[in-house]
Amino acid sequence: MTINKNFKSSTFFLIALFLVWNLDASAQKKHEIFRQEVDKIISASKSDVGVAIMGLEDKETFLFNEGHKYPMQSVYKFPLAMAVLDQIDKGKLSLSQKIHVTKKDLLPNTWSPLREKYPNGEVDVKISDLIGYAVSNSDNNACDILFRLVGGPKKVDHYIHSLGIKSIAIAATEEEMSKAWNVQFTNWCKPRAMLRLLDLFYKGKNLSKTSTNFLMKTMTETTTGPNKIKGLLPKNTKVAHKTGLSGTNEDGITAASNDVGIITLPNGEHVAVVIFVAHTKLDEKSRDAVIAQISKKAYDYFLAKK
């Protein structure tokens, strides 16, 4: 009887071991297929594409060309907003505080819904609204007003580095970037660094719950880049994201077309996605399609895991 019991115990153990091995092998195969699918999209784009993807609950991570320094363009308004909210959490500022915006603050020839609403300036605008303009609407004038409010790009750069995010540089305002093509490359980020920042933000460890919820809502209300991360996702998928886009030079090269954010899956779990499309001759529709295709692959992969 003892031998029979030991035999049964050993058999059950071997069966369980076999099933676990099979599950691990299947998961690894799906992992590799997903990598191959994204690699194929990147290769077909004939562009410099940096990608970082993470399941925020299980931490499974994918990195593509993550060692390159990509120009962020307006994506850097996300870390800027975090720096402003950090000052609010410390009691140095408040969301309801009003900032006087003069006509000189509203530069012409730059993207600015704020200027369109108040063309003559001389208006008091709440910090909460300035963050909304800068993040949800990617307003360049609102961005630079917020930079001045917290002491400039170097202060924001120092704050982000203090969180342990090192492979990122925030050096120039929107006004400075508009003056020369090469200035945009001083505001750079590696995909892994932006992924880590999204993860920290999602965890809510560096900002208060109120500030985290406010910025998450503001990013969910983003109006720019509807065909980027959200482009191929099911309608009404919640995506908290920040886009970035450069101009196109005389050689037909677009330096940056970006989108970074957090996708909420139907099962309530989340996927952080960072996609930088750089140094590309693709038109806007094709650039957006690259981002949308990769995002949809990530959505499908992580949803299928459950």
- What does each C-alpha distance from 175 to 54, 71, 109, 183, 271 come to in angstroms? 33, 16, 10, 10, 33
Give the list of residues 6+ apart from residue 263 with CB closer than 8 angstroms, or none: 229, 233, 237, 238, 239, 270, 271, 272, 273, 295, 298, 299
**Among the listed residues 185, 93, 155, 161, the one whose alpha carbon sits nearest the alpha carbon of residue 130:** 93
Question: What is the reported pTM?
Answer: 0.91
Longest dimension (CA), the chain: 93
Residue type, 34: F
Q: What are the residue numbers of the active site?
A: 74, 174
Q: How far apart are CA 289 and CA 203, in angstroms?
A: 30
Read off the tokens for 60. 């499974």
Q: How far apart are CA 267 and CA 302, in angstroms?
A: 10
Which phi and psi (to 5°) does residue 85 adopt? -70, -30
Helical H segments across 62-220, by residue range? 77-89, 113-117, 127-136, 140-150, 153-162, 174-179, 191-203, 209-220
103 within 8 A of 122, measured Cβ to Cβ = yes
279 within 8 A of 68, measured Cβ to Cβ = no
Q: How far apart are CA 265 and CA 271, in angstroms?
A: 8
Q: Which residue, chain included where needed, has tokens 């050096």?
A: 171
pLDDT tens, N- to C-terminus, the chain (306 residues): 555 555 555 555 555 444 445 557 788 999 999 999 999 999 999 999 999 999 999 999 999 999 999 999 999 999 999 999 999 999 999 999 999 999 999 999 999 999 999 999 999 999 999 999 999 999 999 999 999 999 999 999 999 999 999 999 999 999 999 999 999 999 999 999 999 999 999 999 899 999 999 999 999 999 999 999 999 999 999 999 999 999 999 999 999 999 999 999 999 999 999 999 999 999 999 999 999 999 999 999 999 986
Written as one string, the DSSP assignment of 284-305 is HHHHHHHHHHHHHHHHHHHHHT
pLDDT in tens, 273-295: 999 999 999 999 999 999 999 99
